[in-house]
Amino acid sequence: MEPAALVTGGAKRLGRAISLALARDGYDVAVHYNHSAEAAEQLAEEIRRLGRRCETFRCELSDTSAVERMAERIRDTFDGWSVLVNNASLFERATLTETDESLFDRLMSVNLKAPLFLTRQFAVLCRRGRIINLLDTKVSEELTSHLVYVITKKALLDLTRLTAKELAPDIRVNGVCPGLILPPPGAEEGYLEKLASRVPLARPGRCEDIVSAALYLLHSDYVTGQCIFVDGGEHLR
């Protein structure tokens, strides 16, 4: 029985890098996507060329019933499902006065509710394994320009610790908090470099930095409930 991992939002950006790293580390991979069907299939072919099995799963993460059904399909497809990476996330700028109910519900559903119910399904269906949650260095700040986004990531930090306690010893739960790794979609050229001066290490990071942290947490059997900041020291500001 080959070990398998689910990566939500696995078709692009950090999700893609993590999916490929897991395949190289010996895992079959379930790639979740919503709108990125073409990118998901291209990634699946790349993973198969590495000699690992890969299947893609479309799911709207704001639909809890659909999330639960996807988990059941993945468990039926991969007998060795033992890793869950909650990577998918919505990033939207809005202060308190700019926030409406639609934005609040959208970010809460994808960034917090989906990881919670996927974690619950993983625990019920798999019973043993490891979970990695992708957070944000902004959990260390009070960033009002992205109010709801920051709230969801702070709550996911608490969820990481709470589930690590409840699911131990059979399931370890940890998190990674990226900093300046990838620019947001549509950002101007040089976006990361312009912000790097505020980071103690004075440079942006790379996707490989996040991958290394995730693999460390997967392989470190005596670590649970931890969140590693991979942000060049930005959280120290």
DSSP state of 181: S
Which residue bears the tokens 């990033």?
Answer: 91
How far are the Cα atoms of 5, 10, 17, 47, 220 from residue 78, in angstroms, in the given order? 9, 17, 21, 15, 23
Instruction: Show the CA angle centred on residue 161, arms to residues 26 and 181, nearest 5°.
Output: 60
Asked if 54 and 23 touch (Cβ cutoff 8 Å), the reply is yes
The separation between CA 48 and the C-alpha centre of its own chain, rounded to angstroms, equals: 22
Which residue bears the tokens 């060795």?
Answer: 80
Instruction: Show the CA angle centred on residue 59, arms to residues 122 and 94, nearest 5°.
Output: 100
Q: Which of these is catalytic: 33, 149, 191, 216? A: 149
Active site residue 33: no
Strand, coil or helix: 134: strand
How far are the Cα atoms of 89, 102, 153, 163, 206 from residue 215, in angstroms, in the given order? 20, 35, 21, 20, 15
The separation between CA 30 and the C-alpha centre of its own chain, rounded to angstroms, equals: 14
Instruction: For residue 213, give both structure tokens.
Output: 């942290």
| Radius of gyration of the chain, Cα coordinates, nearest whole angstrom | 17
By annotation, the residues acting in catalysis are 149
